Chains A and B, each alone.
Chain A
Amino acid sequence: MNRLDRLRGPVPPRAHDARALAALAANPGCARRALMDAAGVDKDGTARHLGFPAPFGQSQFAITRGNVFEALVKENGCAELLRLLRELLGLPIDQVGYQDVETVGSHLRASHTRTLIDRAARELDAAVFYDHPMLSLQIAGHTAYLEPDVLAFQLGGRFHIVEIKSFSVIDGQAEPEKVAAAARQAAVYVLALRALMADLGHDPERVSHDVVLVCPENFANRPTASLVDVRRQLAVLKRQLVRMTRVDRLLEGLPPELTFSLEPDDEGVPTRSARELAEALGRVPARYAPDCLSTCDMCMFCRDEARACGSTDLLGRQVRDQLGGVSGAAEALGLAEGTIVPGEGQEEIARVLRLANRLREECLR
């Protein structure tokens, strides 16, 4: 059995969606997550079983609003989208075909999308919107299936990914974090579509790195479109995917029988105790950062672990940067209070910490 399959145990691998893939780029230095993702381990399920569920609930209001907006943009064969793209790209397109890939049934969607893309790439002048397409991407030997909102083909000779998001653009401005998240996600689709193009023998560069972001404008539901350059996100993503294909390096030094298996009993409850599972996870180093709290299902578990060992990671990068590589809170405080003799290379940070400690004492006396 493959080591990754053993890690996951006898349960089907967890499919990665674009959101999960996009989050990979958020903490690329974490071996624990790289390994769990490469093996297709269900992180959400793992965190729950450990008693540390992630606080990532979604409100029904947000979901409804998202669906309503998407439906509006796609109404009448994406008529609204065509109007937006005409304005945005300044193209004299008057006719655009519309294909709903979903009609073929989910098991065939990926291959159907593939056929359609191949055909479209050959017919140079056909402008088509593909609704509910399905792309795939190889993640460390597993196939991840991805569902972009819309693919737009052959607009000005280029292929565009269209992302429909329901956060508002008000007076030309949207919340930067939301735009950044949308860009990371769209980059995953661009990468997948480029991979498919290459696979079919077409020029992958025909897929534009400018994705079309469609959002409601101001306080109404009327959509507005803008181009977002995702080259930077693409670069980060590629690096992380390469890293994940080199999981053997992450596996080095780990006991061969190590597993994070969530194999369920008849009742669907994982057979392994939470304690054993936690121990197994503890063998793979994590790199907790407060950002994990919004990006990774394992965050509550890893935070608890960081707390237990008094890691300065808990306080965030800004604090760590001030501590010159001293990673333990007790050690940093010991250096500051003079109860620990600085080791080699620690003299400078120890001097600064001692001075800071003296100044604090003096001012708060």
Chain B
Amino acid sequence: MSTLLALARLRAMRDGTAQRITTVRHCHVAERPMVFIPLKLAGEAAAPLGAMVGTDPGHPRLLVVPQPRNRDLRFAFAGELAEVLLPYIESFQKATETVEKKGGEPYERCLDAPQIVVPNRPAVAFTGLLGRSTRFRRVDGPHPVHPSVPLLGRWLTYFADRAAQPGSSLLLAATEALGAHWATGQSGLEDANLAALMGWIDPPAGMSGRRAAEEAEDPLLWPPAGPATDPGFDNEVLGPAIRAYEDAPTARAVERITQALRTQLEPTWRLMWRAVELLRALPEGSRVRDRWEADRGSFTRFVERLAEGGPPQARRDGAVSAAARLAGLERARAGYDVQRAYDDPLVMAEYRLTGEAFAGVVTSAEPEHFEGEGRSRKLRPLITVRTEDPVRLAPGTVLGSPDRKGHGAEVVGLAGDEITLKIVKGMGRGRTPAPGAVPEPGERVCYTSLTDDFQTSAALPDPEQTPWTHGGPPEEYVPSDDDAREEWE
């Protein structure tokens, strides 16, 4: 948390409405995302109770497990979910492009990829658990399941794993995506309630965000966005309905449970699509495309892995690959932070606050300044920038700038509010700097010691690639019969 974010929260608290904390959007929003709102039975690790899912805001598909403790019904649910999700995922697999790689074989990449949007972090975790409890199932043997079930399990596992990758947009949690762009006047803990968060950001006409968030805490007006359900609903509505089904598993009994779950899911369904709209309306940051490209690459490789008949993902990482995965995620996190700063002046402002970046106006420029003699004589234009920012950069520090791609400079010295830089990169090959390569007096510029080495997607390691490159090849996980027969009570 930076002082800038703290300030935004204070403002939100005073004004009663959420405050922007970015000037652009930093996540990808698909043209046709799939919204998935799973519910689980309280007290159970991964007993699905139902879900609302679909790509059309006007036509959600409602899936219901009338008795969540019944194993067959759970697998039937998994089968139905597969009916919705798998065709959606498959629809992105056909159209591909050929990517030329420097010093490597050209490879195929899907032109677009699926995007699943769930309400919150626990829904991401639950997606992973659903994947874990279905991916080892077999279509033959003692407890056969429909072939779509293990496939669904592998996809859900893939999406949940990928959600841990900073900057990935394949599986988004709405509360996190919204929270990355707006600050509310409540705590982060309370922001985990989607309805309350949306209340701050997008209150009904004539109502303050604060008031809307207060209302959103009433589970009767705004049922929780799942996967956990409201205990009051469990005790008063769902409990009796499930008992009625147990007494007589009729179509009417199923309908009663269906209606009950619909009341819990519909408000969240509407909120989710509103959230997608709000995010989509933000102008997209310029590096979002690069990251989505990395997502498309990752998706394509997983499609290939499935096609090659690879085994399901292991139950858990070995020690080496777990460490490598963590290190990979840390690098990705650092890269993602830098990218956001380069894309967004308001994010860069956090670094200006700490003195790792500054912005100001060029007061003088010497574009044809040279260093060295004879053959080692090099073009090293000098510029002086006046800034009010508290610069904390030592002479010799290498700087980049979000204003010019490939541009690099070095701190020469600081005097009062003026800082002198020498340009070392991005001037072209000529004896004089390429036009526009050296900032001119009067121009507003921004420089930072954060370096944008992370521009290419190759620098963002995919979790499924990390172990190979940084810990040796992981042991291949061979699922056993026990995995396939594992109980799901």
Q: Which residues of B contact A (CB under 8 A)?
A: 1-11, 13-14, 20, 23, 41-46, 129, 132-133, 185-190, 217, 219, 229-232, 234-235, 239, 315-316, 345-346, 349, 352-353, 388-390, 486-489
Contact = CB atoms under 8 A, between A and B. Distances in A.
A177 to B, nearest CB: 11
Contact of B234 (A61, A318, A363): A61
A316 B5 CA distance: 12
A290 B217 CA distance: 14
Interface of A: 55, 57-66, 166-168, 170-173, 216, 218-222, 290-291, 293-294, 310, 312, 314-316, 318-319, 321-323, 329-330, 332-333, 336, 352-353, 355-360, 362-364
Contacts of B390: 355
Contacts of B190: 290, 293
B43 A66 contact: yes
A357 B6 CA distance: 11
B20 A352 contact: no
15 contacts: A61-B42, A61-B234, A62-B43, A64-B43, A168-B44, A170-B129, A218-B486, A290-B187, A290-B188, A293-B189, A333-B7, A353-B7, A360-B346, A362-B345, A363-B346
Contacts of B129: 170
Nearest to B1: A318
A336 B7 contact: yes
B6 A315 contact: yes
Given A219-B489, A363-B23, 5 more contacts: A170-B45, A171-B315, A220-B489, A353-B7, A356-B6
B13 A310 contact: yes
Contact of B45 (A57, A61, A167, A359): A167
Given A57-B231, A220-B486, A329-B13, A356 B7 contact: yes
A315 B185 contact: yes
Contacts of A310: 13-14
B192 to A, nearest CB: 10
Nearest to B46: A219
Given A219-B133, A315-B13, A319-B9, A63 B43 contact: yes
B187 A314 contact: yes
B369 to A, nearest CB: 30
A138 to B, nearest CB: 33
B9 A171 contact: no
Contact of B41 (A61, A220, A353): A61
A294 B192 CA distance: 13
Given A315-B13, A319-B6, A330-B14, A60 B235 contact: yes
B488 A219 contact: yes
B186 A315 contact: yes
B3 A322 contact: yes
Contact of B186 (A172, A219, A314): A314
A156 B316 CA distance: 33
Contacts of B46: 168, 170, 219
Contact of A65 (B6, B43, B132, B229): B43
